[in-house]
Chains A and B, each alone.
Chain A
Amino acid sequence: MKILRLRKEKLDLFASVVQQFGELHAPVEQDGKYVFKRLTRWAEARLDYDRTILPPKKYFLPPRETLFRYRPGEGFLPSTEGLNQRIILFGLHACDVYSLNILDRVFAGKYNDPYYQARRRNIAIIGIDCTPDKQCFCRSMRADFVDHGFDLFFYDTGDYYQALVGTALGDDMVLATGNLFEAVDAADIDDYKRRSWNKRRAFQLDVEIRDLPEIFEMEYQSEIWEELGAKCLSCGSCSMVCPTCYCYDVSDDVELGSRAGKRTRSWDSCLFADHALVASGENFRGPRASRIKFRFYHKQRGFVAEYGRPSCVGCGRCTTACPVGIDVVQVIDRLRRVQDVASR
């Protein structure tokens, strides 16, 4: 991999050059929190942000998107709305880049999702490293570092950013700046290693994910699920803010006064009461306890069986967003805890 360095004070210059590749979006502050948003000027970008309210999935799987327009006599015409837009998404943390790599697996395969894939190809990713806070457990989820899925990734090494060039497009961005980027030397590598070590020690949370699928199987009847079900409001906030929750609903709407219409998909959540409800009235996951168990089970056990790893990246958003304080790390800790059999 091509590795270069960029003097920190040149970053704004790089940002101005890179805009020729697409519309520049980055985390900006909004009411004390952060959101990914189009920049009107570079100074708005807050690269020291902790986490954004919504993850970058909103760019690739928008909260609402039109799949087809329907016209009598013509059938279903695929919508191409917004798919051509070229965007530079600047400042993704490793966990968020990792989450896109996970979504890539879901939206590819035998049935490629062309809407997701078109956006993935047309939106460039520039990652930046970060310091873990008290909600972060990406290291436990093996998502504190990414080796692909970005065009460029910047590591803060003090006076410089060390830039990993991930794609040909990333290389073109570097070349477009002329001589802004420099070669790295042995001292830069050492700077990186020191910082990598420091980052590792900064984590305050740790969960063990090896054999977690087996623990989930063993604790399938645990009373913890009833307790969580009694607490959960089924608001779906955890799913909305989750960078890897991809469930969606599809609905058809007819335009007033005509027989034409459109087919829209929108974010959905397995916490919603009708997620597994069929037309006959049968609900395969009716009780709230069954729904919240399913969410945990699918992320930490089901996804492992399908794709070889949990779909959780440890970003901490669900814990931050939950209005009743359900904390994924605490739930896993409790499932793992050795209980006194006699007291059961």
Chain B
Amino acid sequence: MLLVDDVATYHPIVSGNPYQPHMARIVRIYKMVENNHLFTLRFLEDNLAHSFRHQPGQFIMLSVPGAGEIPISISSSPSRPEVLELCVRRVGRVTNALYRLHTNDVVGVRGPYGNGYPIPEMQGNDLLLAAGGLGMAPLRSLLWYALDHRDKFNNIILMYGTKRPEDMLFREELLALVDRTDMNCLLTVDADPSGTWKNHIGLLPTLFDYAKIEPLHTYASVCGPPVVYKFILQRLLELGFPKNRILMSLERRMKCGIGKCGHCSIGYKYTCLQGPIFTYWDAINLPEMI
């Protein structure tokens, strides 16, 4: 018979705690755009640095000690492991605390979470990546994954637009892709007051004039502010894209990242579990999604 003193109490905290942040060192802070820096992290535990793998489109929960924990999409491709690159906009309490940190300071990371892009389905198809403003952050992981596995995809088209050249994330890196012959890298700015921009000038949807798109053989990945969704989605539907070939990456408030805390719930789905990549068909069926 079991009595209170004899029973080994159940106590699984030490192993397998999904809320456990793993400490990672900031190895590089790159000031891409004012208040949009790229933070490169590496786990302190070497084993974890070697073994951590994610899917393009997934996110991590980032802890800034003393400030809090937030979801951040992973901007680096899993084809380039060992470090994680996070494009973080300075906007709230935790990101402000992150911006006060320096190279070699330590933060916490757990994940990866979310569904990521449906890579197996997308293979063998054309890829259309359409991003506006900060929307490049999650798409950059998919872009480099596709370029590093170039044989697995057919045509690759990137359309990226920002207000001005100096707002463009990953600018040098993307400008270097314009000359590549195995993809169509289309970059545009709404306006170029400095007069130095040598690529397209005009709103993002004008780039459709420069791309050959076959909707039934293409997966379109869209990310950006609401105005981007509004115009790009409209254009994709006009072109005849099936609604499940349009993929969107969504942002929501999250406290856990693993389907418990309730904040990222949309209709009957959790952005953290069934998202953050949703199809346009999901969006139609889930109220208040976009």
- The residues of A with any CB-CB pair to B shorter than 8 Å are 20-22, 67-68, 70, 72, 75-76, 78-80, 83-84, 86, 106-107, 109-115, 117-118, 121-122, 169, 172, 175-176, 220, 246-252, 254, 259, 261, 263, 265, 268, 270, 274-280, 282, 284-285, 290, 294, 297-298, 301-306
Contact = CB atoms under 8 A, between A and B. Distances in A.
14 contacts: A76-B20, A86-B9, A113-B18, A113-B19, A118-B12, A122-B9, A172-B1, A248-B262, A265-B255, A268-B261, A278-B253, A284-B266, A284-B288, A301-B267
B260 interface: yes
A169 B2 contact: yes
A111 B9 contact: no
A228 to B, nearest CB: 16
A114 B2 CA distance: 23
Nearest to B5: A20
Contacts of A111: 18, 258-260
Interface stretch (B62-70, B116-124, B215-223, B230-238): B62-70
B21 A275 contact: no
A109 B106 CA distance: 31
Contacts, number: 161
A328 B133 CA distance: 43
B67 A252 contact: yes
B30 interface: no
Interface residues of B, number: 52
A135 to B, nearest CB: 25
A247 B259 CA distance: 10
Given A21-B3, A75-B23, A111-B18, A250 B12 contact: no
B64 to A, nearest CB: 8
A332 B85 CA distance: 48
B68 A250 contact: yes
B13 interface: yes
B18 A80 contact: no
A20 B4 CA distance: 6
B126 interface: no
Contact of B267 (A72, A175, A302): A302
Nearest to A279: B92
B263 interface: yes
B56 interface: no
Contact of A175 (B1, B10, B288): B1
Contacts of B19: 67-68, 78, 113
Interface string B72-98: 000000000000000001011111000
Given A72-B65, A172-B1, A83 B108 contact: no
7 nearest A-B pairs in the assembled complex, by CB-CB distance: A279-B92, A247-B262, A121-B10, A302-B268, A305-B268, A111-B258, A111-B18
Nearest to A249: B255
Most buried by B among A72, A248, A277: A248
Nearest to B9: A84
Nearest to A307: B268
Nearest to B90: A279
B158 to A, nearest CB: 24
Interface centre among B2, B16, B106, B252 (most CB of A within 10 A): B2
Interface in B258-284: 258-263, 265-269
A77 to B, nearest CB: 9
B287 interface: yes
A248 B256 CA distance: 9
Contacts of A302: 265, 267-269
A83 B267 contact: no
Interface in B95-140: 95, 106, 108
B4 A248 contact: no
Contact of B13 (A107, A110, A115): A115
A76 B21 contact: yes
A247 B263 contact: yes
Contacts of B12: 112, 114, 117-118
Contact of A251 (B22, B23, B68): B68
Nearest to B23: A75
Contacts of A303: 268
Nearest to B274: A306
A125 to B, nearest CB: 15
Given A112-B16, A252-B69, A285 B288 contact: yes
Contact of B66 (A70, A249, A280): A70
B181 interface: no
A306 B92 CA distance: 32
